[in-house]
Amino acid sequence: MNRTCLAVILAAGDSTRMKSSMSKVLHPVAGLPMIGHVMKAVASAGISDVALVLGRDAETVAKAAHTDEVNVRSFIQTQRLGTGHAVLSARDAIAAGFDDILVTYGDAPLVTAASFAAARAELAKGADVVVIGFHTGTPTGYGRLLVENGELIAIREEKDATDEERKVTWCNSGIMAINGRKALEILDKIDNKNVKGEYYLTDLVEIVRRDGGRAVAVDAPEAELAGCNNRAELAVLERLWQERRRHEIMLSGVSMIAPETVFLAYDTQIGQDALIEPNVVFGPGVTVEGGAVIHAFSHLEGAHVSAGATVGPFARLRPGANLAVGSKVGNFCEVKKAEIGEGAKVNHLTYIGDAIVGAHSNIGAGTITCNYDGINKHVTQIGANAFIGSNSSLVAPVSIGDGAYVASGSVVTQDVPADALALGRARQETKPGRATIIRDRALALKAAKKAKD
């Protein structure tokens, strides 16, 4: 669209109904603050500039809203005198002379670039005000959009509506686009002659029509326009976001056995022909390439899983875990800040942290890299085609050479050369009959304690 646009994002509310120590718009959906989702939609719509209207936690909200894709200016709304007053807090930005002004909200994380584009398209056709509405089977509590001959004639709040008007199911989302060349002129005509003494943005419809201008409404899906006032509504937003993103990912060629049990982050990327089993949670920063399998009850964050690799079940990949093609991290394993080489296997009940595991190496069950000395982290390097026996402890910094063997139950504190065998355990001794003596002693002690009680 060859038109300039300023998005005014209202994020100054006190958020009292959230009952939270932080601003409502900072609460995350899919791991990203709600204000971050709105900014992503704005950037995707090709909007170049944002006026961020802030109040509570202004500095933190501005930081959460930052993006290199959009020019952002912050404005503080010192008094809460209604939506019209909030928009005019960004007067200096509006006065810059954009073709379009788009007003949206920081707690609307499901809104899409398509809805913004639809509203702006009507401005391009000559409308002065465009309201984004939604149809719902439960309109109670919402302002109704009253339309005649294709034009929006009023937004009627429910308390002011007639019985006939209450039957209208097309409702106001609060998101609005305004002719940028007339924006300040018509915004300045909003008054506060109402019971609450506030300046309502919805008054623009009747102001524009009174001055001979044109107001219209465009439709968007109800779920996309949901806002948030409390924790219960935040959970609804999370559910709606997850449903939408799962659907998109499955249509891209990813299989999910029980999609309703899989939870994605805002930036989760999963390639074609990957399989995601039930009860998998993705934190931020995860990429799963095509053909990989994430088995049930696994948790991934900040990890990269290459093509054909398998994870889990019951595995945890922490930030910095990087699994190469065809590698395996088995059940009840944890990997953190480690490179798992092509075809390498990290088997059950194993912890690999701050490590490099070479191609086609095998890490036996119960193995741990002892990477932390209480102050600093140290690296374990395991070469290609190495074999680490079960229940081994590799005390970093330590290096295991290509093709080396570490005997089961070893504690390795020194480097192991290539193709060497390392045994780091005490020699076994067997004492015939000693178990009977120990058992009899323990039974006698137990009997003595019982008699004393």
- Residue 219 and residue 256 in one domain: no
Give the pLDDT confidence score for residue 184 in this predicted structure. 95
Residue 433 lies in a domain: no
- Residue 178 and residue 267 in one domain: no
- Residue 184 and residue 294 in one domain: no
Residue 316 lies in a domain: yes
pTM of the predicted model, to two decimals? Answer: 0.90
- Residue 220 and residue 295 in one domain: no
Quote the CA–CA distance of 282 and 109 in Å, as a whole number: 19
Cα-Cα-Cα-Cα torsion 268, 273, 278, 279, nearest 10 degrees, comes to: -20
Residue span of the structural domain in which 12 resides = 5-225
Q: Encoding tokens for residue 233? A: 């509504």
Angle between helices 113-124 and 34-44 (to 10 degrees): 50
Question: What is the chain's alpha carbon radius of gyration, rounded to the nearest angstrom?
Answer: 31
- Residue 54 and residue 182 in one domain: yes
Q: Encoding tokens for residue 211? A: 């001055």
Write down the catalytic residue from 85, 295, 348, 360: 348
Question: What DSSP character marks residue 314?
Answer: S
Give the pLDDT confidence score for residue 1 in this predicted structure. 65
| Nearest residue to 236 via CA among 112, 113, 107, 115 | 107
- Residue 28 and residue 142 in one domain: yes
| Nearest residue to 238 via CA among 281, 271, 302 | 281
- Residue 414 and residue 373 in one domain: yes
Residue 247 lies in a domain: no
Question: What DSSP character marks residue 377?
Answer: B
Angle between helices 58-65 and 34-44 (to 10 degrees): 40
- Residue 299 and residue 158 in one domain: no
Residue 438 lies in a domain: no
348 is catalytic: yes
| Nearest residue to 173 via CA among 282, 296, 10 | 10
Residue 205 lies in a domain: yes
- Residue 188 and residue 264 in one domain: no
**Residues with Cβ within 8 Å of residue 400, at least 6 apart in sequence:** 380, 381, 382, 383, 386, 388, 394, 406, 412, 415, 416, 422
> Exposed, middle or buried by CB within 10 Å (0-12, 13-18, 19+), for 193?
exposed
- Residue 320 and residue 360 in one domain: yes
Give the pLDDT confidence score for residue 160 in this predicted structure. 85
Quote the CA–CA distance of 369 and 380 in Å, as a whole number: 7
Residue 418 lies in a domain: yes
Quote the CA–CA distance of 422 and 436 in Å, as a whole number: 34
Quote the CA–CA distance of 422 and 18 in Å, as a whole number: 59
Residue 231 lies in a domain: no
- Residue 159 and residue 263 in one domain: no
Which domain CATH number covers 141? 3.90.550.10
In contact, 333 and 321? CB cutoff 8 Å = no
Quote the CA–CA distance of 337 and 122 in Å, as a whole number: 50
Domain boundary among 210, 225, 240: 225
Which domain CATH number covers 404? 2.160.10.10
Give the pLDDT confidence score for residue 16 in this predicted structure. 87
Domain boundary among 225, 240, 272: 225
Domain count, the chain: 2
**In Å, what is the CA distance from 78 to each residue of 11, 201, 315?**
12, 18, 49
- Residue 207 and residue 300 in one domain: no
| Nearest residue to 323 via CA among 440, 298, 117 | 298
Query: Which parts of the chain have pLDDT scores under 70?
Result: 1
Residue 10 lies in a domain: yes
Domain boundary among 164, 190, 225: 225
